[in-house]
Amino acid sequence: MINRRHFTLAAGASAFATGSLAQSDVLRIFVGFPAGGVVDVVARELGEALKATTGRTVIVENRPGAGGRLGVMAVKAAAPDGNTLLLTPSSIMTLYPSVLNKLPYDTLIDFAPVSTVCLSTNALAIGMHVPARTLSEFIAWCKANPKDATYASPGAGSAPHFLGAQIAKAAGVDMLHVPYKGAPDILVDLYGGRISAFVTALSNAVQPSRDGKMRILLTTAERRPTALPDVPTAREAGFPALTATEWFGLFAPAATPASRVSAMHAAVEKAVATDSVKKAFERLVLDPEATGPAEFATRIRADLVRWAGIARALDYQRVDAV
């Protein structure tokens, strides 16, 4: 029986043992987001590399909808045979349990963690109409212009929403959160001066920043990204508590044999070390990382606790999952 206590071995003990990944010629990776987005691109780049490291055909299946949860549910319902995996950003598995009621899955019970794939960070960016070049200047501007002190995120209860709220609370400034359905609509309003700031995954902000369409004030990374050597980290900007990296990870259905989970992690470890994956992730401002199942499980539990604490500190009111 799989339970929380045994989550570090969530693949479980199986009545049969096999170390081979050749149980099927086809490996399916489900993604709960549309084709062409960052998660989809990560899955497809990884899938191409896994073809070489596993000798299998790898198919990426997009199940967009419900904030990424349709892909999660497809894998939860799949047979635990090592033929089906979920690739997802961390928030779906570790933040959603703190912001949504009636979530139709339990991260610690319904899935076996296989491996992280890459790490990402968030960023705070402002429109070029805002006369600030540092976080302290932006905070001062918000206090002097309270009606214009707004920030956008890709949705209420998202990691960027919480990051913006944490910045505002720590700085002692009121900032109105404006939730959107996605980055394209946010960028239109940011460029048009209708919102002042945008909290987002760093990968969404790098190119617009280079094009002179927005100004990035900080990232949540441990150190300055190579792509943005002049942008300070949250720690450097005086907000060390905001330092955090998020992950993209692979999960198998609960009760997948531990031997299959371990074999798949080994294949992922080889895949993210290939030049093609490294270059693709570099373009997306993502850092390749293939943490093993046990360590990954420990991180998941810690992230669940972290997000629960943040939600409580911000007095976030849960809503029903729809």
What is the Cα–Cα distance from 320 to 239, expressed in whole angstroms?
32
- What would the mean pLDDT of 176-182 be, rounded to a whole number? 89
The closest alpha carbon to 110, from 74, 79, 73, 76, belongs to: 76
Q: What is the DSSP letter of 317?
A: P
| pLDDT above 60 (res 200) | yes
| pLDDT above 80 (res 13) | no
| pLDDT above 60 (res 4) | no
What is the Cα–Cα distance from 153 to 76, expressed in whole angstroms?
28
pLDDT band at 23 (very low <50, low <70, confident <90, very high): low
Look at domain 4-119+246-320 and name its CATH class: alpha beta
Backbone angles phi, psi at 15, to 5 degrees: -75, -10
Give per-residue pLDDT as tens, 119-156.
Answer: 999 999 999 999 999 999 999 999 999 999 999 998 88
Q: What is the pLDDT of residue 132?
A: 97
| pLDDT above 70 (res 1) | no
Tokens of 25: 């010629």
Per domain, the residue ranges of the chain are 4-119+246-320, 122-242
Tokens of 94: 């570790």
Residue with tokens 């999952």: 321
Task: Mean pLDDT check: name the lowest of 3-7, 215-219, 266-270.
Answer: 3-7
What is the Cα–Cα distance from 199 to 278, expressed in whole angstroms?
25
- What would the mean pLDDT of 253-274 be, rounded to a whole number? 97
Could you give the percent of the chain with pLDDT greater than 90? 79
Look at domain 122-242 and name its CATH class: alpha beta
- What would the mean pLDDT of 197-225 be, rounded to a whole number? 93
DSSP assignment of 4-73 equals GGGGGGTT---SS----STT-SEEEEEESS-TTSHHHHHHHHHHHHHHHHH-SEEEEEE---GGGHHHHH
| pLDDT above 50 (res 12) | no
| pLDDT above 60 (res 3) | no
Rounded to two decimals, the pTM is 0.86
What is the Cα–Cα distance from 134 to 128, expressed in whole angstroms?
13
Strand partners, 132: none
The closest alpha carbon to 164, from 155, 175, 172, 154, belongs to: 175
| pLDDT above 70 (res 7) | no
Chain-wide mean pLDDT for the chain?
90
Higher pLDDT: 22 or 223? It is: 223
| pLDDT above 70 (res 305) | yes
pLDDT band at 162 (very low <50, low <70, confident <90, very high): very high
H/E stretch holding 161: helix 159-171
The answer to whether the beta carbons of residues 60 and 218 sit under 8 Å apart is no
Q: Do domains 4-119+246-320 and 122-242 have the same CATH topology?
A: yes
A 10 A CB-CB count for 190 gives: 27
A 10 A CB-CB count for 276 gives: 12
132 CA to centre of own chain: 28
| pLDDT above 90 (res 18) | no
Task: Mean pLDDT check: name the lowest of 13-17, 202-206, 302-306.
Answer: 13-17
